[in-house]
Amino acid sequence: MGLRFTKMHGIGNDFIILDGFRHPIADPQALARRLCARRFGVGADGLILALPSDRADARMRIFNGDGSEPEMCGNGIRCLGRFLADEGLCRKNPMTIETGAGILTLALEGGSAPRVTVDMGAPRFAPEEIPVAADSNRVALEAGGRKLDFFCVSMGNPHAVTFDLYPEDAEFLRLGALLERHPAFPRRTNVEFCRMSPDGGIDVRVWERGDGPTLACGTGACAALAAAASMGLCSRQAAVRLPGGVLEIGWAGDGHLFMTGPAETVYTGEIDAE
């Protein structure tokens, strides 16, 4: 019997979503490594399980292409919200989803280009919460012969944001790999290379922990806005431009960050479960 899946993406950050309400999923780490392989599997940045929750309307587990399990994924949770609605697994709007970073609230918009707004919670700057092995969330790190200043922040998962460099491809790949596993980050980190644009927006290239270069990262976009606004580089609302598209990020007066962007189904299919 084949394993039914839905392929979705949020501005190019793509996911395979499985219905864990109806079908138990054994060994999701190994399944993620197999299904996410772009030449030998379905191909995706991550595997998402839609699961029941006794604390929220649903629970999300997400696995990177290397089988590791991050706490949260901003583009992934938007896709999961749309999947739950389309499959009739949750008929509430707004809905709540339990994640490794806590319970988040999503509001779905309709239309030909459906968008989802997620209350991403408040960014955390304490070094022990990120975590970063330093006395402050502002650190200067050396990697590959470069010394860069980073603003570190947790969006439920760790991020290191720099405005010192917006690298070309070869340097991006080299530095991203080194910084993800830098000794300053005991649980590894996502890395955002950023630059401000004249209109007040933020251009971001993301190296994702466990995946490497991706076209977009929702938590990374939130981290970039939190860093830029804290550093006085922009206001508390900005368009964050990633290689796959644009996310609208706002930092509300209650301290919560709100992310708005699309969630689109690419196709559905079946693959051998073994």
Q: Give the tens place of pLDDT for each residue, 248-261.
A: 999 999 999 999 99
- How many Cβ atoms sit within 10 Å of the Cβ of residue 147? 9
- Mean of the per-residue pLDDT values for the chain? 95
The pLDDT value recorded for residue 271 is 87
Please pick, among 36, 90, 217, 234, the residue that the annotation labels catalytic.
Answer: 217
The pLDDT value recorded for residue 2 is 82
Cα 139 to Cα 66: distance, rounded to the nearest angstrom: 28
In this structure, the answer to whether residues 169 and 92 fall within a common structural domain is no
Q: Which residues of 111-130 are buried (b: 16+ CB within 10 A; e: fewer)?
A: eeebbbbbbbbebbbebeeb
In this structure, the answer to whether residues 115 and 6 fall within a common structural domain is yes
The pLDDT value recorded for residue 272 is 81
On the CB side of 167, CA atoms within 13 Å amount to 18
> Is the confidence at residue 114, as pLDDT, over 90?
no
Residue 73 is a catalytic residue = yes
| Residue-range definition of the domain harbouring residue 80 | 2-121+261-272
* Both tokens assigned to 146: 């470069």
The string of pLDDT tens digits covering residues 47-106 is 999 999 999 999 999 999 999 999 999 999 999 999 999 999 999 999 999 999 999 999
Radius of gyration from C-alpha coordinates of the chain: 18
Please pick, among 36, 73, 90, 222, the residue that the annotation labels catalytic.
Answer: 73
Asked if the structure places residue 6 within a domain, the reply is yes
In this structure, the answer to whether residues 213 and 236 fall within a common structural domain is yes
In this structure, the answer to whether residues 101 and 168 fall within a common structural domain is no
Asked if the structure places residue 126 within a domain, the reply is no
The winner for highest mean pLDDT among 21-25, 176-180, 268-272 is 176-180
Asked if the structure places residue 128 within a domain, the reply is no
The pLDDT value recorded for residue 274 is 65
In this structure, the answer to whether residues 107 and 142 fall within a common structural domain is no
Q: Which residues of 3-32 are buried (b: 16+ CB within 10 A; e: fewer)?
A: bebbbbbbbebbbbbbbbbeeebeebeebb
Q: Which helix (H) or strand (E) segment is 237 a member of?
A: strand 237-242
Least confident interval from 20-29, 103-112, 117-126, 194-203:
103-112
In this structure, the answer to whether residues 19 and 105 fall within a common structural domain is yes
The pLDDT value recorded for residue 175 is 98
Asked if the structure places residue 132 within a domain, the reply is no
Asked if the structure places residue 130 within a domain, the reply is no
> Is the confidence at residue 169, as pLDDT, over 90?
yes
How many percent of the chain have pLDDT more than 90?
Answer: 93
Q: Confidence band (pLDDT; 50, 70, 90) for 1?
A: low
**In CATH, what number is assigned to the domain containing residue 48?**
3.10.310.10
CA-CA distances (angstroms) from residue 152 to 8, 35, 69, 131, 166? 29, 32, 20, 9, 17
For the chain, what is the total number of helices (H) and then of strands (E)? 4, 17
The pLDDT value recorded for residue 112 is 58
The pLDDT value recorded for residue 251 is 98
- What's the number of domains the chain is made of? 2
Asked if the structure places residue 131 within a domain, the reply is no
The pLDDT value recorded for residue 43 is 96
> Is the confidence at residue 240, as pLDDT, over 80?
yes
> Is the confidence at residue 110, as pLDDT, over 80?
no
Cα 76 to Cα 161: distance, rounded to the nearest angstrom: 21
The pLDDT value recorded for residue 111 is 63
How many percent of the chain have pLDDT more than 70?
Answer: 98
Residue 222 is a catalytic residue = no
Q: What is the mean pLDDT of residues 121-129?
A: 98
